[in-house]
A = this chain, B = another copy of it.
């Protein structure tokens, strides 16, 4: 069968021909429908993040997938059901986090990540996985189901943020998303229903399709070339909730200054080492005197996938149509990895 993989020592994806996998006991065979591409895939290609499966000369890419159950193999799932796979699988060690259905909280060493670190991904005509790692979604969501994974990451971050503010009557009136990439836009659409006023920061100039989407969602576009993150309270208003989805390390710190009293910032980006100067005294003091919080969040679990499924079902059609810019067949796979100002979300269609 066809698969899209990166070979050891290479930094570009290739189409390879491999054997169709056979499900083990408790595993399901899934026929892949669509697989999305995000920034992590580029990090895997460049080698800056993740690692190859042990003993393998290639890594099948892809962690944002939707498929259809081809063989339920005696599990509780039904053949023909539309499913979305989660990303983390246990490493060769026991882990209370997997036992508790909280693999997203497992520390490094206790997990591999399909398509990212230590396990093959979903960019293939078929894949197998234990039924417990598959989340059924309604058939009408089959075309957009590969977005459940990125949305689930935002759902987990939102859950952490909300719970951290649950000791008092928190008002999340003003929400800011740092980053207008696909994750930023999906998060913004999620917040549009929850916050009274939403903002999205990017560094693009008009005209730009992401700015159009931001404004169509009712949010205010903040051009980071004109307004720095720490200037946002003065130019706009202090924020109750900030989602960092850029991986730009300085944003983690300026988020503290963008927040108003009792605000919470959740960090989702994964930057490389970078030394710079901060007014650490002012940041520390602001965190304390204004009860601010800064939380890191990675990955997500089945609970977040289920919430993401519901969130996805509520997104307006125009929004999904406008972010799913680049559909490629397997033979056009290379185009899916091309970046351009018009590209928001690329995905490869394996079957329909």
A contacts, CB < 8 Å to B:
96-97, 100, 102, 104-108, 159-160, 163-164, 166-169, 249-250, 252-253, 260-262, 267-298
Classify the interface of chain A: helix, strand, loop or mixed: mixed
Are the CB atoms of B291 and A261 closer together than 8 Å? no
Question: Is the beta-carbon distance between B296 and A289 smaller than 8 angstroms?
Answer: yes
Give Cα A274–Cα B249 distance, bound, in whole angstroms: 19
Known: A107-B260, A249-B284. A279 touches B274 (CB 8 A): yes
Copy tally for this chain in the complex stands at 2
A106, B168: Cα distance in complex, Å: 11
Given contacts A249-B280, A276-B278, A287-B296, 11 further A-B contacts (CB under 8 A): A107-B260, A166-B166, A267-B287, A270-B285, A270-B288, A270-B289, A272-B285, A275-B277, A275-B279, A278-B280, A291-B297
Most chain B CB within a 10 A radius of its CB, from A159, A249, A262, A291: A291
Q: Which of B107, B274, B288 contacts A298, CB < 8 Å?
A: B288
A260: chain B residues within 8 A (beta carbon): 107
If the complex has contacts A108-B261, A289-B108, are A277 and B279 also in contact, measured as CB distance less than 8 A? no
Q: A277-B276, A285-B271 are in contact. Are A290 and B107 (CB under 8 A)?
A: yes
Known: A269-B284, A280-B249, A280-B250. A295 touches B164 (CB 8 A): yes
